[in-house]
Amino acid sequence: MQVLKATARPLSPAQCKRPSGSDCGAGLIDAQAALTALQGGGAPGFSLSTPNNTLSLQLGGSLSLPINIARSGGFTGAVSLSLQGAPNGVSGSFNPPNTTGNSVLTLSVAASVPEGVYPLLVQGVSGNLRASLPLTLRVGSGRQASVQGTVVSACFITSSGCDQNRSSSVQITQAGPSAAYSLERLSSGSYYVLGWKDVNNNRRVDEGDYIGGAINRRGELEPVRPGNLRVDFQLEALKIDPDGVWSELRGWLERGGK
């Protein structure tokens, strides 16, 4: 696995863009480069790994995570480590931050951080060599968040965005971790179904808010048609991707899906 990651071909942000954020991983597998590295050849490089990429922390908590650095192609240099994508209130420190061996990442979560799921990225740099390690951090208080107050909207899809006159929305008043919803009197056509909970009540789609939608296996919004159809989806608190689909529909969601 370490060799496959170290010899993979990196993907551009545009190639791996997803509604929930960018998740390129190590890139595309290069079988020939991997075989060459296993045989002792290939260009110098390194890869990052950890026993568990999915982490959970309670508000006000902290944890330590080993960061392993696998070197290949004769590379022996020091690697400088940093944490990317951490929201306000989430901090990370490496011991040591610049190492010729391995390191340990200590993550801390302040009590003010909104509950939800956050994508993080450990970045390693040594000269012109780079490697990254994606992490998923789930922050919670030990109790399930409520969907009460979530606005579920159906965006009527047009070539220029959402048709306000043919879109519809409903606000969930039921408390609890899940709830049913129904969107009535929809015109014939295709819709994106989305949900947004304005956690800080500032009427803006921003970091820490709960957001989600009906998506396909590639993480893209899936058009649906009205009728006797059940559309389930999850809400997650994620950093807003400035180039992603949430940004494209941001103004529409802030108007209540109208």
Which two tokens mark 53?
Answer: 């990429």
Report the C-alpha gap between 23 and 119 in whole angstroms: 9
125-134, 160-169, 178-187, 240-249: least confidently modelled range:
240-249
Please report which confidence band the pLDDT of residue 244 belongs to, taking 50, 70 and 90 as the band edges: low
d(CA 96, CA 83): 13
| Cross-strand partners of 169 | 153
Hey, how many other C-beta atoms are within 10 angstroms of the C-beta on 224? 15
Q: How many residues does the chain have?
A: 258
pTM exceeding the 0.85 threshold for the entire prediction = no
Token readout for 57 is 């922390």
> Model confidence at 21, in pLDDT bands (50, 70, 90)?
very low
3-12, 103-112, 234-243 — most confident range:
103-112
Instruction: Spell out where the chain has E strands.
Output: 45-49, 54-58, 62-72, 79-84, 90-95, 98-99, 103-109, 116-126, 129-140, 151-158, 161-162, 168-171, 191-197, 210-213, 236-237
Domain boundaries, given as residue ranges, for the chain? 2-140, 151-254
| Mean model confidence pLDDT for the chain | 82
The fold for domain 2-140 equals Immunoglobulin-like (2.60.40)
C-beta of residue 44 within 8 angstroms of C-beta of residue 72: yes
Judged against a pLDDT cut of 60, whether residue 242 lies above it is answered with no
Mean pLDDT for the stretch of residues 96-108 = 94
- For residue 184, is pLDDT > 50? yes
